[in-house]
Amino acid sequence: MAERRWQYWAERTGDGGRLPWRSTLLVAVFTQAATGWAQHAQPGREAVDPVGRILLLTAPALLLLRHRYPVPVLYGVCAVTLGYLAGGYPYGPVFVSVAVACLAAVVAGHRHAAWGAVGALWAGHLLIAHWLYRWLPPPGDGAAPWGTEGGITAWAIAVLAACEVVRVRREQWARDRAEREAAERRRVDEERLRIARELHDVLA
């Protein structure tokens, strides 16, 4: 049962027929709520003000169009995320929108665009954390530890790897379905041919 549900979800990913309201709302609510917890765990980061809340809401809002315009949405989400990070706000839940947008782009067949967007996000964070931080909030902040960069790098690799797994499984399910449908058509054709031969023998 769990396997069938996961297969159904993966097959629906990338479907541009209707807007994914429920999953987008879930991401938005989780991001807003979990960022409050992340803020308590990262007292050295900038407090999430109305601007930060708007950025946290903008990224999930873009996800509504991820099945119709996967690449622009992914790059838009990455740009919003960079703006959020440049504001010095807490790390954590903001990356959920990036992961969802990346998945939509990869399963839609835009693997290289997804890799490029995630790579640009990683490079942008590196620039912010080790050079631009001097002119960005929070005041008096220093360069991010390289351990943080290692965590961001591991996260990016994990997201891309997970997206590739879903893409491969989705393609495999599509091939299996096509093979089953072809086998069923052959069976029906053979049955029709058998009936036609029997009728021919009877009438003869």
Q: Give the pLDDT score at 17.
A: 61
Q: Give the pLDDT score at 137.
A: 92
Q: Give the pLDDT score at 41.
A: 92
- Token reading at 5: 């549900």
Domain map of the chain by residue range? 2-172
Q: Give the pLDDT score at 52.
A: 96
Q: Give the pLDDT score at 6.
A: 47
Low-confidence ranges of the chain (pLDDT < 50): 2, 6, 9, 11
Q: Residues 55, 83: contact at Cβ < 8 Å?
A: yes
Q: Which residues lie closer than 8 Å to 67 by C-beta, 6 or more apart?
A: 13, 14, 15, 16, 17, 19, 20, 104, 108
Q: Give the pLDDT score at 13.
A: 55
Q: Which residues lie closer than 8 Å to 132 by C-beta, 6 or more apart?
A: 86
Q: Give the pLDDT score at 12.
A: 54
**Separation CA 173–CA 23 (nearest Å):** 22
Q: Give the pLDDT score at 144.
A: 85
What b/e string do you get for 54-68 counting C-beta neighbours within 10 Å, with b at 16 or more? ebbebbbbbbbbbbe
